[in-house]
Copies of this chain bind each other. A is one copy, B any other.
Amino acid sequence: MAHKPRKEMIAETRAKLVSAARQAFGTVGYAEASMDDFTAAAGLTRGALYHHFGDKKGLLEAVIAEIDAEMNERLCAVSAKAPNRWQGFVDESVTYIEMALEPEIQRIMLRDGPAVLGDPSQWPNANACISSMTRNLTQLKEEGRVGDIDPEAAARLVSGASLYAAQWIANAENPAATSKKAVKAFKTLLNGLLVEKG
C-alpha cells in the first residue's frame, strides 16, 4: 500500500509532539514536564523533538502559538456577533477574562510562558489577540466613541487587567462571587474610555 506522503507524516509528527507537550505543560507545568515522558506518550523520543523544535523552549513556542491562535479565533467569534462595536469590545474583554480562567491558559500563557520566553508583548507569533483588540479600539476612536487615547496602549492595559483578574478569580475561595465583583469593577473601568458614559 502507498505510504502517506512525506509532508503529511511530518506534520502529523509535529502535531503529536505539540499536543503531548501542551498536555504536559498545561498540567504539571513547563519545568516539571519531562521531555522523555511526554515524547514517549506521543510514541516518539527526544530525538524527534530536537530535530523539529531545536530545544524545549522551541516546543513551548509552538504550543503557545497554537493556543494564541485558538484564543484569537474565539475572541473574533464573540465580537462578530455583537450588536455594535463598543459592545463587541466589552464582550471581547469579558471573554478574555473567561478564557484566562482555564487552567491550561493560566499555566502556559500567563505563568510559564512569560518566565521562559520573557515579556509576552514581545512574543513574535502570539499577539493575535492584542492586535485584533487594538484594531477594534482604533475604529471606535475614529467613530468618536472613545476618547483620544492610544489604541494599543488601551488594549494592553485592558488585557493586562483581564488576565490578572482572571488568575485572581480562578484561585479564589469562591470563584463565582469573585468573578461577579471583578466583572462589575471591570466594566466600570472600561467606562472611563467612553467619551460619554453609557
Contact assessment for B111 and A184 in the assembled complex, using a CB-CB cutoff below 8 Å: no
Minimum Cβ distance to chain B for residue A185 (Å): 4
Q: Using a CB-CB cutoff of 8 Å, which residues 100-119 of chain A contact chain B?
A: 106, 110-112, 114-116, 118-119
Closest partner residue, chain B, to A164 (CB atom): B160
Minimum Cβ distance to chain B for residue A96 (Å): 12
Could you say which residues of chain B place their CB within 8 Å of the CB of A165? 153, 156-157, 160
Q: Using a CB-CB cutoff of 8 Å, which residues 157-198 of chain A contact chain B?
A: 157-165, 167-168, 170-172, 178, 181-182, 184-186, 188-193
Contact assessment for B115 and A154 in the assembled complex, using a CB-CB cutoff below 8 Å: no
Minimum Cβ distance to chain B for residue A97 (Å): 10
Contact assessment for A111 and B121 in the assembled complex, using a CB-CB cutoff below 8 Å: no
A81 to B160, CA, bound (A): 28
Q: Using a CB-CB cutoff of 8 Å, which residues 61-117 of chain A contact chain B?
A: 106, 110-112, 114-116
A110 to B111, CA, bound (A): 9
Contact assessment for A121 and B153 in the assembled complex, using a CB-CB cutoff below 8 Å: no
Minimum Cβ distance to chain B for residue A133 (Å): 13
A110 to B118, CA, bound (A): 10
Closest partner residue, chain B, to A168 (CB atom): B121
A150 at the interface (CB under 8 A from B): yes
Interchain Cβ contacts under 8 Å between A and B, 29 examples: A31-B115, A31-B116, A110-B114, A111-B115, A115-B115, A118-B171, A119-B167, A121-B167, A149-B181, A149-B184, A150-B184, A154-B188, A154-B189, A156-B165, A156-B168, A157-B165, A158-B189, A159-B164, A160-B160, A160-B165, A161-B161, A163-B164, A188-B192, A188-B193, A189-B189, A190-B192, A191-B192, A192-B192, A192-B193
